[in-house]
Amino acid sequence: MRTRPGTACGTIAGVTATPTQPKPVLADAVDLARAAAQEVAGEQRVGAHTGVQAEDEFSATHLFDAQHPGYGGWNWAVTVAYAGPGTPVTISEVVLLPGADALVAPAWVPWEERVRAGDLGVGDLMPSRADDPRLSPGYLASDDTGVEEVALEIGLGRVRMLSREGRLDAAQRWQSGEFGPRSDMARGAPATCGTCGFYLQLSGSLGAGFGVCANELTPADGHVVNVEYGCGAHSEVAVEGGPAIPVADVIYDDALLDVEVNVPVAAPEEAPAQL
C-alpha cells in the first residue's frame, strides 16, 4: 500500500469524474477501503463514506471525510483494484485529497513568472530564460535592419539580442508609461519631444517612435520618451518678456493721503508813485 500527497489514479473530488460506474465488486469494498484509510490516518480521522468513483474497468476510488483540524472539505481517497473474476480486491493507494469546497494553496507560479518590474534591487541577479521570446541568438541575422547596417562595422558579438517580439513588448510598455503621449505631462505640454533639441533618437526600428531626453531640468532626463511625449521645458518654448509673476497696477487709497490746504496769499499793496 502506498501513500502520497498527490492525486489518485484518475479524477477525484472537485474534478469532473468519469461517467463509468464501478463494478459491484469494487463498489462494495467500502470496509476494505475504510480499514486502509484508518491504517494510514488513524481510526478517529476517517469520517463518513461520501462516494465511490470508477477509475477504469478494474479499479475504483472510495472517498471518506477527513476528520483533521484545518482540513475541512478534504477526503481520504482509497483506490481499490482487482484483476478479474475470482481474484481478490486489493488496495492500490491511500491519499489525502481536497474536495470541491476545500481550502487549498494557490497554483504554483514559477519564480521567473512572479517577478515584476521594479522588483530588482541592489545586488539581485535576475537571469533571463533560455527560451525567452524577447531575445534571439546574436549569431543569427537580426530582423532589425538598423542593427544589420552597422553589425559588421562595430563587430557585433552579443550572444543574444532583442527579437521582434521583444521590441514590440518594450514599445508597448514605453508607449503606455509615464513618458508616453497619454501622460498628464504630455497632455499639458506646448510641443512634443520629436521637435525638441534635447531629444536623442534611438537607433534601429524603435527610433521611429522613441528617443532619450537629455534635458537635466525635466523629470524625463535620461529616460526613454515617446516621440509624442512633451513637457514644459521644450527647447523652442517662447514666453513673453516681463516678470514671470504678473504685477497689478498701483492703486492709492485717498483716505490715507496727507492733504494740505492751499491758502491764497494776498498781493502786496502798490507803492505811491513818485512825483
pLDDT value for 51:
92
Q: Is residue 133 part of a domain?
A: no
Q: Which of 57, 72, 98 represents a domain boundary (last residue)?
A: 98
CA-based radius of gyration for the chain? 43
* 160-205 confidence digits (pLDDT tens): 778 889 999 999 999 999 999 999 889 988 899 999 989 999 988 8
Q: Is residue 186 part of a domain?
A: yes
Q: Is the pLDDT of residue 157 over 70?
A: no
Q: Is residue 46 part of a domain?
A: yes
pLDDT value for 79:
96
Retrieve residue 175's grid coordinates: 508607449
pLDDT value for 228:
94
Q: Is residue 42 part of a domain?
A: yes
* 227-239 confidence digits (pLDDT tens): 999 998 888 876 5
Q: Is residue 199 part of a domain?
A: yes
CA of 4: how far to CAs of 41, 94, 177, in Å? 12, 7, 48
Q: Is residue 103 part of a domain?
A: no
**E strand or H helix that includes residue 148:** helix 145-154
Please tell me what DSSP assigns to residue 255.
Answer: G
Domain count, the chain: 2
Segment 101-120 shows an average pLDDT of: 79
Half-sphere exposure (Cβ direction) of 61: Cα atoms closer than 13 Å:
22
- Rounded to a whole number, what is the distance in angstroms from the first to the last CA of the chain? 163
Q: What string of DSSP letters covers 59-102?
A: EEEEEEEE--TT-TTEEEEEEEE--STTS--EEEEEEEEE-TT-
Segment 47-70 shows an average pLDDT of: 92
Retrieve residue 12's grid coordinates: 477525484
Q: Which residues span the domain enclosing 175?
A: 167-226
Q: Is residue 220 part of a domain?
A: yes
The residues, any chain, with a CB within 8 Å of residue 27's CB and separated by 6 or more, are 21, 52, 60
